[in-house]
Amino acid sequence: MSTANSNRSKASIIVSDRSEGFSLSVEIRDEILHEMSHYDDARAATIEALKIVQKHHGWVPDGACGAIGEILGIPGSDIEGVATFYNLIFRRPVGKYVIKVCDSIGCFLNGYEDVKAGLIQKLNIQPGQTTPDGRFTLLPICCLGACDKAPVLMINDDTHFNVDPSRLDALLEQYK
């Protein structure tokens, strides 16, 4: 699977205010309520709620934690504590496409360093940074469970196997 698709739905833009007022769209609220119905305790929907906000907004601003807490009936600080723990929840704006490069042992033994060096050179950013045009963010990630097809990376929801460091241009071209 290597079709380029962004998770971001343009239909639901959230109005974000840096200080307090962060309101969740009706669509996001409904999706969170749906997830809550799967659990015997509302708190369990915390991670799904954060992922839903991120799917629509790209990342999770401070205000969103309080807004999610209101729906789930728990303090926003609890949501914040969870949001900062998990590496797939972004607390800063990220690029349109997030490249997650596996740096665990399977890929390490199979040319991960060339893939990483190639991406750093082509994108002209370091891991943790976003290109100035907002197109790509580069992040390390732990074992993606495909060591038989190493090296492996993900771009948003797409997993790319047997990544060839000499063909990175063609790979990146799929994501505009």
Partner 1 sequence: MTSTVKSPETHPLTWRIRNNEAVLDIKAYEALEGYAGLRKALKEMSPADITQVVKDSNLKGRGGAGFPAGVKWSLVPMGPDAPKQKYLVCNADEMEPGTFKDRLLMETLPHQLIEAMILVGYALQVSKAYIFLRGEYVLAAERLNKALADARAAGYLGENILGTGWGMELYVHTGAGRYICGEETALINSLEGRRANPRAKPPFPQIAGLWGKPTVVNNVETLSNVPQIILRGAEWYKNLSQGKSKDAGTKLYGMSGRTKRTGVWELPLGTSAREILEEHAGGMKDGYKLKCWLPGGASTDFLMPEHLDLAMDYETIGKAGSRMGTGLMMVVDDKHNLLSVVRNLEEFFARESCGWCTPCRDGLPWTVKLLRAIEKGEGQSGDIETLEQMTRLLGPGKTFCAHAPGAMEPLQSALKYFRNEFESGIKQV
> Which spans of this chain sit near partner 1 (rule: CB under 8 A)?
1, 38, 40-41, 43-48, 50-51, 72, 81-82, 85-89, 100, 103-106, 108-110, 141-150, 154, 157, 159
For residue 160, the minimal CB distance to partner 1 (Å) is 12
Separation of alpha carbons 146 and 105, rounded Å: 11
Closest CB to partner 1 among residues 120, 146: 146
Q: Is the dihedral of CA 85, 98, 46, 19 positive or negative?
A: positive
Contact yes or no for 52/9 (Cβ under 8 A)? no
Instruction: Kindly state the smallest distance separating residue 31's Cβ from partner 1, in Å.
Output: 13
Dihedrals φ, ψ of 130, to 5°? -120, 140
Residue pair 36/20 in contact (Cβ under 8 Å)? The answer is no
Nearer to partner 1, 47 or 122 (CB): 47
- Is 17 or 113 the residue whose CB approaches partner 1 more closely? 113
